[in-house]
Chain A
């Protein structure tokens, strides 16, 4: 197996996630795109862990999974609160902080 095939898979997933963050208006779908990005990072970390024969990449991947779980919990709670206050989760309608 080549190193670059895993890294290229990570790059493709990262770019699809970036496209989703740019293109989507629904807040839940933006959070899903962020999950795609985090998974591509994990694939890269584990590929390099195998390449270098160390367990550091595994540790970082586990930390990233834990941080992603916390992020989804808080993010969805915020989306819920926004929906309760405005009856909509379109990200382009949240413009109160525009200067």
Chain B
């Protein structure tokens, strides 16, 4: 189990842990606002906070390239798509009443039970295991060696998926 001794162990990275706690708290509050707010545009802007926090966590996890990609793709492109989708499917911008299902309370016990199960499993299997504090930052060359080496076939499949998505989106959203 997670013990106090492990939290205060010798190779504790104080600055990293404070950064983690602040960003994690911000992410959780923002994620709760995404699923509870009454305003679709506000939900999109809270989602930006969650995605930026996730990018900060990726930097903490020594994954700089993924963090930059997260900022470019998610905050840059996906959020613009979301805001356009909100604008095009909604006559007015402001608070609305029926954004939730009539049985929305069912989600609370489902999410709670799911989290309890996952938390028990995680704490019992990883407990107070420390991440390596002297880990090197994975160079982008290593990632490209992975993508264009052993994972080349998924990369091709992914290119095809993106092409199909582009064509599909154009066909679906065309006016005539």
A-side residues, CB < 8 A to B, are 1-9, 11-29, 31-33, 35-36, 39, 42-43, 46-47, 49-51, 53, 55-59, 61-63, 65-74, 76-81, 83, 89-92
Contacts and interface: CB of A to CB of B under 8 A. Distances in A.
Contacts of A26: 40, 99
Interface of B: 2, 6-7, 13, 16-17, 20, 24, 27-28, 31-32, 34-35, 40, 43-44, 47, 50-51, 54, 57-58, 60-63, 65-66, 69-70, 73-74, 77-78, 81-82, 84-86, 88-89, 98-102, 104-108, 110-112, 114-115, 118-119, 122-123, 126-133, 135, 138, 142-143, 145-147, 151, 154-155, 158, 161-162, 164-166, 168-170, 172-173
Contacts of B60: 1
A23 B154 contact: no
Nearest to A76: B85
A89 B128 CA distance: 46
B26 to A, nearest CB: 11
Contacts, number: 258
B3 to A, nearest CB: 11
Given A1-B20, A69-B78, A72-B82, A43 B111 contact: no
